[in-house]
Amino acid sequence: MCGRYVSTRQPDDLATLFHAEVPPAEQALPPSWNIAPTQDVRAVIERVDRDTGEIRRTLRAVRWGLVPSWAKDPAIGTKMINARVETVHEKPAYRRPFAKRRCLLPADGFYEWDRVPARDGRKAYRQPYYIHPEDDGVMALAGLYEFWKHPDSDDGESWLITCTIITTEATDAAGRVHPRMPLTIAEKDADAWLDPAVEDPDRIRKLLADPTARPLDARPVSTQVNRPGPDSPGLLDAVDLP
């Protein structure tokens, strides 16, 4: 799975990279070196503007943990931070978003954990690794988003926009740490991935890129990452393993 990731680029830089509108200053999210589920994350979304009929591509904040439109309780989102590529096109919670509401989640890299058994008087623990492109470029994680409105509310501000990250079997550097990893979208396929008019499941699935086509590097980092609170550039520093 993908349970934490890093996104530190400036909104202006991301908007330029993904050809999206820059979000208003009050809606721009700060950089984060330890993004956790249920937090707001940056997403590139393409939708038809209801007022003008124009297609707009925006960089906006959405909450990580997809809440299906039919859900009674948004707490279900904590269990839906990832969608498996093998079944995403057929699962009830993901089927329609996969066809109509796809997004890109810009990331510098992501974390995965290796379980270290107890030995030499040390307790068992989870050792985090930071996995990222060797060229330190931005990863466009393949995501889905959905709208949810509280059934008992008539307030237009009650709409919640949430997302999930599509994952696949891990190989390369990530595969040495954890069996799953996030999928990415290649730059040449970004337009089709974001286009809500592209609805054929077979065509959509072909847009999902193998992230290992871009060489990845994995390095052990501080176990501070194991908690969602710490958030600083130092979390990416390599550590020596015992």
Q: Is 2 assigned a catalytic role?
A: yes
| Total-model pTM | 0.93
232 occurs within a structural domain = no
Q: How far apart are the C-alpha atoms of 131 and 26, rounded to whole Å?
A: 31
Q: What is the pLDDT of residue 33?
A: 98
Q: For residue range 102-146, list pLDDT tens digits in order.
A: 999 999 999 999 988 888 878 899 999 999 999 999 999 999 999
239 occurs within a structural domain = no
234 occurs within a structural domain = no
How far, in Å, are 141, 155, 238 from residue 137 at the CA level?
Answer: 12, 41, 19
Q: Name the strands in the sheet holding 216-220, side by side, starting at the edge strand that comes first in the sequence.
A: 32-35, 4-7, 109-116, 125-133, 216-220
Q: How many CB atoms lie within 10 A of CB 57?
A: 18
139 occurs within a structural domain = yes
Q: Is 163 assigned a catalytic role?
A: no
Residue 106 domain boundaries: 4-226
22 occurs within a structural domain = yes
81 occurs within a structural domain = yes
29 occurs within a structural domain = yes
CATH no. for residue 206?
3.90.1680.10
**At 190, phi and psi to the nearest 5?**
-65, -40
- The answer to whether 166 and 204 are in contact (CB under 8 A) is no
8 occurs within a structural domain = yes
Q: What is the pLDDT of residue 209?
A: 75
Catalytic position from the list 46, 112, 146, 163: 112
Catalytic position from the list 2, 46, 103, 163: 2
- The answer to whether 167 and 124 are in contact (CB under 8 A) is no
Q: pLDDT over 90 for what percent of the chain? A: 74
Q: How many domains does the chain have?
A: 1
